[in-house]
Structure 1
């Protein structure tokens, strides 16, 4: 567990609203005035029933979607109303995503999967290779650097996906059921690796999970119900 700083939060959502079919008779209100602040070094568990809107919330927080109302700030920068280019640059540099399924590129090795997003961000090949090796070693996969995903277990693949998400040194990590596709024993091991990575970097993290045991191991738990966030399970 980490002690969050009292400085400007890495992620700040204020009054965020999101509806689908807005203005139509079949409008569905997903988020109804969501407020959330996450500090550097803080790991927040997001729990919610299926279909409650947690993926929508993560997409808005990670600048993959825009709210109908409210503000989104990352590291003190308000992103509402910014150009697509500005949002893309912020997302590439400051936000890391992890999903339930690893989505690794099958034709590339573990190391290459971690190198590619760095090259897209302008990092040199040598620096990207060094960063990939460092991250793989940190999660105990240095010996698997040259293996393609098909030659790795599910838990190994997901740990590579963690490394890829952290490759560019994001300030904010957003994870949507990152261990949901794994058996309980592997899930616990992979979650421990993720927490170690977050602790080593001091980033802010929001991790959506149905696993209440894992949620209880994070710094704070927020619950999404009826479009709003509440503290605790």
Structure 2
């Protein structure tokens, strides 16, 4: 059985193209993600990590190359199709949680499911199951301001997984947390990846966390190479 969830092939991206100040941030990037694996993406600031994540997550388009999700080439699809694919197949987690402040933890996880056509009852059950999995179920009725930083980020993970995506993309998901909390939150993230059977591409500066993932890749000079 094919367990490839995402295939990136020959991605290139240049900013300020055709000007004296043009910068080629991606130079023929190839990457294959498999179900159930977590891949660390390490690189200095400005190397193109966010650009790569945005292209993989259908928030941006490459100059050349292709993005396939579960064997479907999604390169060049229209905005409506890309939005639907992104909502169903890709989950995002950022350095800051970006939870909706006026809604509770469980509501923040329920809303994306309702937008995807899930019934309210099923959406709430899924939300509570995810919150229970990361140990935040007792705080389900609290708004983000009443949660700790670690709790907020765990809720953000749950929201990203609300619609059962194939791929999770995370950009410095523990970057705003102290080391102890970051470690706890990372454990919760990895448990979700394993139990949900999705792929995760996680950009991080934390080499200790990167070492705990299945593979480490470095974006260097616009190309990906393995890190031993």
TM-score (normalizing by structure 1): 0.96
Deviation at 1:180, TM superposition (A): 0.4
- Match in the other structure for 1:36: 31
| Superimposed CA distance per residue, residues 51-92 of structure 1 (whole angstroms, 9 cap, x where no aligned partner) | 100000000000000000011111101011111111111100
Q: What residue number does 1:105 align with?
A: 100
Number of residue pairs the alignment of both structures matches: 228
- CA-atom RMSD in angstroms: 0.9
Worse-superposed segment, 159-168 or 23-32:
23-32
Deviation at 1:214, TM superposition (A): 0.3
Which residue is equivalent to 1:187? 182
Query: 1:23 maps to which residue?
Result: 18
- CA–CA separation in structure 2 for the residues paired with 1:77 and 1:8: 13
Q: Measure the CA separation in 2 of the matches of 1:156 and 1:80.
A: 36
Pairwise CA distance, 1:8: 4.9
**Structure 2: stretches of 5+ with no match in the other structure:** none
CA distance in 2, matches of 1:97, 1:60: 12
Which residue number in structure 2 is paired with residue 166 of structure 1? 161
**1:149-178 Cα distance to aligned partner (Å, 9 max, x none):** 111100000000000000000000000000
Matched, 1:7 2:6: no
Deviates further, 80-89 or 56-65:
80-89
Find the counterpart in structure 2 of residue 123 from structure 1: 118
Secondary structure (helix, strand or coil) at the match of 2:60 reads: coil
CA contact (8 A) 1:106 1:150 kept: yes
**Structure 1: distance between partners of 2:76 and 2:144:** 39
Checking the alignment, whether the CA contact within 8 Å between 1:16 and 1:71 is kept in structure 2 is yes
Partner of 1:49: 44
**TM-score of the two chains, using structure 2 as the length reference:** 0.98
Secondary structure (helix, strand or coil) at the match of 2:193 reads helix
Structure 1 gap segments, 5+ residues each? 1-5
Q: Describe the SS at the equivalent of 1:190.
A: helix
Contact 1:96 1:166 in 2 (8 A): yes
